[in-house]
Amino acid sequence: MSAPLADVLVLDLTRALAGPHAAMMLGDLGARVIKVESPTGDDTRGWGPPFVQPEEGDRESTYFLSANRNKESITLDLKNPADQDVLARLVERADVLMENFRVGVLDRLGFPIERLHQLNPRLIVLQITGFGHDGPEAQRSGFDQIAQGEGGLMSLTGLTEPTKVGVPIADLLAGMNGAYGVVSALYERERTGRGRVVHTSLLAGMVGVHAFQGTKWTVAKEVPGLAGGHHPSIAPYGMFATATAPVQIACGSEKLWQAFCAAFDLDPAAEGLATNADRVTNRPQVIELVEGLLADTSAEDALAKLDAAGVPAGKVRSLDDVYAWEQTLSQGLLIDVDHPTLGAVQLPGPALRFDDNAYAGGREQHIAPPTLGQHNDTIREWLDS
């Protein structure tokens, strides 16, 4: 079977992370992705350290490597009429164009939506912005940490003060939302024969994952606060200290609470513990109780005891541990690629698997992130063919 998007051509005019991540997701599914870069390259080529310095050639940013697998690179100066003509020819052949310029920039470069659809009525355009393509603050630049704060996520994260998530989650979610919007538009195009514009933003990604914290305000009119290492609506559910290292325990139902109590000789119906609502109300006392039970137990022994009792629990792994974990490896979540200057490198891979492929993603083989302008000649030759 061919990859799901094997017949799709994507023009990736984006830079930094949200747009490149969206384009990479489509590339993982088999789309041909042509990354259109300025002559100086995507900003993330310079984001570091860490950089990887080959014996010959320019240094490579590990940040850029994380968001640009399965792509080709062509450099175009979109203020140059000759290069604008190259882009127009690419648009005529493309299925999807992705951009994350500030609102109005693509218009000023001579490619408003009307012209794009004149060149190619079937073209699907994905526009990713910081705060939305319209509205009173549409012109604001979008940067991940600012969006995490403005979108409320930081107000829910941390122990004593608002804290950003350890990865650029606003960018990543905007990219994921954009990718599924594009796939939906491709499906719709099979019925209508025409393309459309898909809009998403970093702000939309943040608000879209508020989940129960959002309805806590919109319905119950309670403003959520910092959640720390524990679930705000379930107890015990969170990270607990042991004699050696923290463990995470999730008593997500009364049945699991009863199983936990049986393993540790507790009365599940004791005063202040009988219902989840009781335990949430008395969370500090519940945390103290659980950590008291684990105070003289190693993390390994605690996890073994919880597993035997059928109570969900787990480690807090560092990334080197995650990438060495047999379960991670069994899911095909690391991919090996041959980079043109770095040689053989290993990358974190895509999150999807299909039934005819043991490895993550829809491709039989993944392609290394490109060097700047690596495919200038081959893409131009293809356009002239």
d(CA 193, CA 197): 14
pLDDT value of residue 316? 95
Give the pLDDT of residue 253. 97
Residue 142 tokens, joined: 């979008």
What is residue 362's predicted lDDT score, i.e. its pLDDT?
A: 80
Tell which phi-psi region holds residue 335, choosing left (phi > 0), alpha (psi between -120 and 50) or beta. Answer: beta
% pLDDT > 70, the chain = 97
The yes-or-no verdict on residue 249 having pLDDT over 70 is: yes
Q: Which helix (H) or strand (E) holds 198?
A: strand 197-201
Across residues 40-58, what is the average pLDDT?
85
Mean pLDDT, residues 218-227: 96
Q: Is the pLDDT of residue 359 over 70?
A: no
- pLDDT for the residue numbered 171: 98
pLDDT-derived band at 1 (thresholds 50, 70, 90) equals low
Q: Is residue 384 very low, low, confident or very high in pLDDT (cuts 50, 70, 90)?
A: very high
Calculate the CA 149 to chain-centre distance: 17
The one catalytic residue among 171, 278, 320, 321:
171
> What class, spelled out in words, does domain 9-209+329-384 have in CATH?
alpha beta
Least confident residue range of 102-106, 207-211, 318-322, 361-365:
361-365
Distance from C-alpha of 22 to C-alpha of 171, rounded to nearest angstrom: 10
Question: 328: which 2 tokens?
Answer: 């991670």
Per-residue confidence band for 340, with pLDDT thresholds at 50, 70 and 90: very high
**Mean pLDDT across 169-196:** 98
Please tell me the predicted confidence (pLDDT) of residue 2. Answer: 81
Stretch 338-360: mean pLDDT = 86
236 preceded by a cis bond (ω within 30 of 0): yes
| pLDDT tier, 353 (very low <50, low <70, confident <90, very high otherwise) | confident
Average pLDDT for 168-195: 98
**Known catalytic residue at 171:** yes
Annotated domain spans of the chain:
9-209+329-384, 247-315
User: pLDDT tens digit string along 113-156?
Assistant: 999 999 999 999 999 999 999 999 999 999 999 999 999 999 99
Statement: residue 54 has pLDDT above 80: no
The rounded mean pLDDT for the chain is: 95
Backbone angles phi, psi at 327, to 5 degrees: -65, -40
Is the predicted pLDDT of residue 197 greater than 90, yes or no?
Answer: yes
Answer whether residue 356 shows pLDDT above 70: no
User: DSSP state, 189?
Assistant: H
pLDDT at 58 over 80: no
How many CB atoms sit inside 10 A of residue 39's CB? Answer: 11
Is the pLDDT assigned to residue 358 strictly greater than 70? no
Confidence of residue 239 (pLDDT cuts 50, 70, 90): very high
